[in-house]
Amino acid sequence: MGTRRIPLPGVGTQYDLTTESGGHLSVVVHHDGRRFLGVYRADDPDACESVALDPEEATALAHLIDPTRLEGIDTDGLDLVTEHIPVGSRSPYAGRLLGDTRARTRTGASIVAVLRRTSVHPSPGPDFRLGLGDTLVAVGTREGVDALAAIIGGG
């Protein structure tokens, strides 16, 4: 498998994927949040049939395709869930340290990673500074994760 990252200035980024069997796909990540899934045509390998996906549709498709399911990790007796929690403009913690949220003490849920548009930060420490637009990947019980979402969201 080979992936290639091609910048599309002013539009976004294109990710090219060539599979082991020689198939060729690409995903265009648009600045406005849309994703375009392209499958290349047989008669013209430079051109693709492209499907536009809004952010929710892209997430749904990603969950369908992902063979290692992220949600509902099976643990004995304890129902752990993984949730993506966005740091929106109403969040009191945008621009503040992760430690300030005292997430684990207050909710029991753990923040295992922070997704930023340009990068991913696995296991962030308490001195990690959250930014507007970050997405927290939190693992915990349903109640814990929901409480954390309320705290981060400013509810």
Partner 1 sequence: MHDTTSLLLELGALLLTLGLIGRFAGRIGLSPVPLYLLAGLAFGKGGLLPLDASEEFVAVGAEIGVILLLMTLGLEYSASELVGSLRTQYPSGLVDFVLNALPGALAGILLGWGPVGAVALAGVTWISSSGVVAKVLTDLGRLGNRETPAILGVLVIEDLSMALYLPLLTALVAGVGLAGGSIALVVALGTVVVVLYFALRHGHHLSRAVSSDNPEMLLLVVLGLTVLVAGIAQRLQVSAAVGAFLVGIALSGEVAEGAHRLLTPLRDLFAAVFFVFFGLSTDPAAIPPVLPVALLLAAVTVVTKVATGWYAARRAGVGTRGRFRAGGALVARGEFSVVIAGLAAATEPRILPLATAYVMLMVLLGPTTARWTEPLLTRLRGARGRGTAPAPHPRGVGAGAAANRRGQRR
Residue 8 in the binding site for partner 1 (CB under 8 A): yes
Among 1, 21, 49, 65, binds partner 1 (CB under 8 A): 49
Residue 119 in the binding site for partner 1 (CB under 8 A): no
Residue 18 in the binding site for partner 1 (CB under 8 A): no
Q: Which two tokens stand for residue 5?
A: 């990252």
Q: Which two tokens stand for residue 58?
A: 């892209």
Work out the angle at residue 54's Cα, subtended by the Cα atoms of residues 50 and 56, and round it to the nearest 5 degrees.
130
Residue 30 in the binding site for partner 1 (CB under 8 A): yes
Work out the angle at residue 117's Cα, subtended by the Cα atoms of residues 116 and 120, and round it to the nearest 5 degrees.
40
The CA dihedral of 85, 88, 92, 93, to the nearest 10 degrees, is 60
Q: Output the smallest distance, CB 52 to partner 1, in A.
A: 7
Residue 36 in the binding site for partner 1 (CB under 8 A): yes
Contacts of residue 91, Cβ cutoff 8 Å, sequence gap at least 6: 130, 132, 152, 153, 154
d(CA 120, CA 71): 19
Q: Output the smallest distance, CB 46 to partner 1, in A.
A: 4
Part of the chain binding partner 1 (CB under 8 A), chosen from 1-9, 60-68, 97-105, 107-115: 1-9
Residue 132 in the binding site for partner 1 (CB under 8 A): yes
Please give the residues from 58 up to 87 whose contact with partner 1 meets the rule CB under 8 A: none
d(CA 129, CA 81): 24
Q: Output the smallest distance, CB 141 to partner 1, in A.
A: 30
Binding site for partner 1 (CB under 8 A): 6-12, 14, 26-28, 30-31, 36, 38, 40, 44-52, 89, 94-95, 117-118, 131-133
